[in-house]
């Protein structure tokens, strides 16, 4: 049997601005709604503290730790006139020194590696909000909860495979793409 090759996937040196906005819009909406869900779900100073701690953790993990720890080892840091899906390579060039592409896979190594923190920032609000329904049920919090779950599913089942990783020049060496069998 002859296997016909599928249509070639275009790799982007510069992602379209619409893709960068979609990726960051999805990320920011996820964090903000997640934090809001925790704050409203527990509706007390406990919820306020938990929600604020979550928001700080999520934004620092994504927009501080990534450009400092991960991006310097990524091919987009070195590619001339490049714009990666998150746009963080542009920030990283300003704030961090050039890394080593051989270390790029380290993003997935260790319990508190950047990849695990990234997943934690996405999953924490989903897990954290569930107990609040048994303490004081709120339809508004349920809507926020469903929106966060929707954003999570959208990211994993559409964004990565159709907008982000599929067009990424780092996918051959990226542990995330390898896990999703896209490398």
**Interface ranges with ligand SF4 (CB under 6 A):** 85, 164-165, 168, 170-171, 174, 176-177
Q: How far is the CB of 157 from ligand SF4 (least distance, A)?
A: 14
Nearest approach, Cβ of 9 to ligand SF4 (angstroms)? 12
CB nearer ligand SF4, residue 116 or residue 138: 116
Q: Which is nearer to ligand SF4, 138 or 183 (CB)?
A: 183
Torsion of CA 19, 24, 30, 31, to 10 degrees: 170
Question: Least Å distance between CB 116 and ligand SF4?
Answer: 13
Comparison of 84 and 128: residue with beta carbon closer to ligand SF4:
84
């Amino acid at each position: 049997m002859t296997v016909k090759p599928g249509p070639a996937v275009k790799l982007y040196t510069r992602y379209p601005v619409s893709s960068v906005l979609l990726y960051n819009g999805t990320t920011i909406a996820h964090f903000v709604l997640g934090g809001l869900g925790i704050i409203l779900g527990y509706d007390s100073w406990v919820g306020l503290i938990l929600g604020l701690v979550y928001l700080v953790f999520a934004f620092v993990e994504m927009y501080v730790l990534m450009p400092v720890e991960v991006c310097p080892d990524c091919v987009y840091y070195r590619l001339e006139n490049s714009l990666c899906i998150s746009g963080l390579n542009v920030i990283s060039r300003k704030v961090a020194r050039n890394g080593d592409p051989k270390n790029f896979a380290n993003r997935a190594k260790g319990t508190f590696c950047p990849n695990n923190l990234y997943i934690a920032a996405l999953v924490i609000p989903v897990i954290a909000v569930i107990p609040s329904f048994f303490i004081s049920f709120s339809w508004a919090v349920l809507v926020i909860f469903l929106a966060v779950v929707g954003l999570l599913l959208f990211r994993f089942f559409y964004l990565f495979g159709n907008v982000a990783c599929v067009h990424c020049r780092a996918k051959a060496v990226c542990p995330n793409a390898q896990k999703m069998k896209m490398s």
